[in-house]
């Protein structure tokens, strides 16, 4: 809208949007009497954005499984328009989120056809399909390896949902296609995808970052099989690691990449009772994010030293830490949500005394960002409360250095 004010505003807005803007086409399923007009959005984009060329595209295609002949014809026109657009004007797109329902083999072909148009410049790809496996036996699901070459792809995100069992033929094809990426993100319980990856002797030889919403034994097996040193490890939940042996293997995984990790996130959730999580010295870690449930017994220890027995010493254990995020997930039955009852947990990250009982005056001289949060779960929404003032007020001593 700012571009409509005058030519100078248009120039300035275009300069910003060329770097940050994302064009989204989320088309309706067309299940009503009104004919679709979404195809005109493509032509409007070509007219208004021909000199803008944003780098990101979110594309959510409808399914070909439409009973009304007129709507089927319009869907074909939409796909043709998109193919024309991406073939002639898609060389600026580096990030693609490809989503929508896949009910028929023709849906799969339409999506792959669009992806092939962008493969020359694509660096980041996310699949957000809803896959129906009823038509899996069709030859249309065969992966066109002779046409699709994701040679420049650096990041791959799998956010696919399935109606029944995951279609192995499709999953194994994508496991083979993205072996060269540096960043892998699994946004669901994609154990079948991880299982396909375990068949490789050296999966993801270039991988530097792994992001997972949940971690089970199969995903843990995959991570332990990686040979390239990781720089980023984000595990949203450790809830599936209920057995002590899996918990120890996770500690071994962190130890394996301790010298190269620069960013680490995890949610400490329902782990073995009375067990502590042992973190190694992380000499290059810049960002650390830890989450836990209110009233849970969070136990994190650090390597013992002759003068610092399991008490966090930032200079020794985290010498380059720049950002620390602490997230508490409030108990839904609690009437009040504050940091008041979390003094023991906060003592892990902001110890007031060393093992000899001597007060700690300077805690961390490298920290530049401190982000404490309380997440309150309600029946219909998730509220985020930023509680920096309350957090600081509830600490016994606040003379740590930022």
Residue 30 above 70 pLDDT? no
Instruction: Tokens 């740590």: give the residue.
Output: 400
In whole angstroms, give the CA distance from residue 167 to residue 129.
Answer: 12
Vertex 104: Cα angle to 103 and 106 (nearest 5): 135
Residue 221 above 80 pLDDT? yes
Cβ neighbours, 10 Å, residue 6: 10
pLDDT band for position 272 (50/70/90)? low
Cβ atoms of 284 and 260 closer than 8 Å: yes
CA atoms within 13 A on the CB side of 386: 4
pLDDT band for position 50 (50/70/90)? low
Question: pLDDT tens, 157-179?
Answer: 999 888 777 777 788 888 888 99
- pTM to 2 decimals? 0.82
pLDDT of residue 66: 60
Q: Which of the given ranges, 127-131, 202-206, 330-334, has the highest pLDDT on average?
A: 202-206
Cβ atoms of 235 and 265 closer than 8 Å: yes
Cβ atoms of 202 and 227 closer than 8 Å: yes
pLDDT of residue 139: 52
Per-residue tokens: 336: 């009040």
Beta strands, E only, 48-123: 56-60, 95-102
Question: pLDDT tens, 89-141?
Answer: 677 889 999 998 888 788 888 888 888 888 888 999 999 988 876 654 545 55
Cβ neighbours, 10 Å, residue 250: 19
| Lowest mean pLDDT across 45-59, 186-200, 289-303 | 45-59
Cβ atoms of 362 and 314 closer than 8 Å: no
Instruction: Name which of 291, 254, 255, 289 is nearest 271 in CA terms.
Output: 291
Instruction: Name which of 328, 321, 368 is nearest 346 in CA terms.
Output: 328
CA dihedral 256, 207, 125, 63 (to 10 degrees): -70
pLDDT of residue 232: 97
**For residue 137, what are the CA distances in angstroms to 127, 133, 182?**
21, 9, 32
Sign of the Cα pseudo-torsion (387, 389, 395, 399, in order): positive
Cβ atoms of 217 and 239 closer than 8 Å: no
Question: pLDDT tens, 251-268?
Answer: 999 999 999 999 999 888
């Amino acid at each position: 809208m700012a571009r409509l004010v005058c030519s100078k505003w248009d120039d300035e807005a275009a300069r910003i949007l060329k770097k940050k803007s994302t064009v989204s086409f989320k088309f309706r399923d067309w299940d009503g009497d009104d004919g679709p007009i979404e195809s005109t959005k493509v032509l409007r984009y070509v007219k208004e954005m021909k000199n803008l060329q944003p780098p990101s595209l979110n594309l959510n295609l409808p399914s070909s499984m439409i009973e009304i002949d007129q709507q089927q014809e319009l869907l074909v026109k939409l796909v043709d328009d998109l193919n024309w657009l991406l073939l002639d004007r898609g060389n600026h797109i580096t990030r693609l989120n490809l989503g929508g329902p896949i009910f028929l083999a023709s849906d799969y072909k339409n999506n792959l056809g669009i992806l092939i148009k962008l493969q020359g410049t694509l660096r980041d790809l996310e699949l957000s399909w809803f896959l129906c496996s009823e038509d899996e036996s069709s030859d249309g699901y065969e992966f066109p390896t002779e046409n699709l070459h994701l040679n420049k792809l650096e990041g791959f995100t799998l956010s696919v949902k399935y109606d029944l069992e995951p279609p192995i033929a499709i999953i194994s094809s994508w496991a083979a296609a993205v072996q060269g990426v540096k960043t892998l993100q699994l946004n669901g319980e994609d154990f079948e995808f991880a299982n396909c990856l375990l068949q490789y002797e050296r999966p993801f030889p270039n991988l530097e970052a792994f992001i997972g919403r949940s971690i089970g034994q199969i995903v843990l097996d995959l991570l332990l099989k990686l040979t390239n040193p990781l720089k980023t490890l984000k595990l949203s939940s450790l809830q599936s690691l209920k057995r002590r042996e899996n918990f120890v293997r996770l500690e071994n995984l962190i130890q394996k990449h301790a010298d190269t990790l620069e960013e680490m996130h995890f949610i400490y959730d329902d782990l073995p009772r009375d067990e502590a999580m042992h973190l190694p010295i992380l000499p290059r870690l810049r960002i650390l994010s830890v989450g836990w449930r209110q009233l849970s017994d969070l136990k994190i220890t650090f390597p013992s030293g002759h003068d610092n027995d399991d008490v966090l010493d930032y200079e020794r254990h985290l010498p380059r830490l720049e950002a620390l995020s602490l997230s508490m997930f409030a108990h839904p039955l609690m009437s009040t949500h504050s940091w008041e009852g979390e003094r023991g947990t906060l003592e892990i990250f902001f110890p007031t005394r060393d093992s000899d009982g001597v007060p700690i005056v300077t805690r961390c001289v490298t920290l530049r960002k401190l982000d404490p949060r309380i997440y309150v779960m309600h029946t219909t929404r998730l509220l985020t409360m930023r509680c920096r003032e309350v957090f600081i007020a509830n600490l016994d001593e606040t003379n740590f250095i930022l």
